[in-house]
Amino acid sequence: MKSFIPTKSLLLALFLLCCGAVASAEEKSSALGNFDNSQPIEITSDRLEGDDPSGRAKFSGTVVAKQGDATIYADEVTIHYSTGKQRDIDQVVAVGNVRIVQGERTATGGKAVFFNRESKVVLTGSPKVHQGKDSVQGDEITVFLNEERSVVTGKEGGRVNAVFHPQGEKK
């Protein structure tokens, strides 16, 4: 497949990555799960650097963003937003030791980018998504948020690896 800031969108988008990227072979996961975006968000970091004229807010140094039971960990999170009256998020970039946790779902990688206009999230840098015992990994994991669809690609000449366990005992 090479081919003021509303940070609720950040957690929602990255949470959806966890929900959509791994689905059981027998049961499709709901894209929204039990996520409640009406809950407050708490973001902690060593530093926050805002640049309103350029439409950028950068959280750096052990960033932890929590909303409900969803948590994002990264070395740095940069939010790019429009600078007009309506400050819409254009793109959110989390880099360095990215880990997204919600319930038993965990996504890891070197970088996660949320593209708001395209409603997609791209996880790179040895990305891997776990849900329970199941896992998917490749060179790039792309989740199309409005389509409940994801694409996992391997490096050129490489392969995707997915492991799915049975949901219950067979009779």
Give yes or no for a contact between 125 and 155, defined as CB atoms under 8 angstroms apart: no
How confident is the model over 12-32, as pLDDT tens digits?
434 443 343 333 332 333 332
Supply the pTM of this predicted model.
0.72
Q: Mean pLDDT across the stretch 148-159?
A: 85
How confident is the model over 74-110, as pLDDT tens digits?
999 998 988 877 777 788 899 999 998 877 888 899 9
Q: What is the spatial distance between Cα 134 and Cα 167, in angstroms, rounded to a whole number?
A: 10
Q: Mean pLDDT across the stretch 34-53?
A: 76
Decide which of 47 and 7 is more confident.
Answer: 47
Among 50, 48, 29, 37, residue whose Cα is nearest residue 11: 37
Q: Mean pLDDT across the stretch 5-12?
A: 40
pLDDT score of 61: 97
- List the CATH code of the domain at 8-163: 2.60.450.10
Q: Is the dihedral of CA 2, 75, 36, 162 positive or negative?
A: positive
Q: What is the spatial distance between Cα 114 and Cα 92, in angstroms, rounded to a whole number?
A: 5
For the chain, percent of residues with pLDDT exceeding 70: 73
* DSSP-derived 3-state class of residue 110: strand
pLDDT score of 171: 52
* Per-chain mean pLDDT for the chain: 76
Decide which of 9 and 77 is more confident.
Answer: 77
CB atoms within 10 A of CB 59: 25
Q: How many helices (H) and strands (E) does the chain have?
A: 1, 12
Burial of 102 (0-12, 13-18, 19+ CB in 10 A): buried
pLDDT score of 21: 35
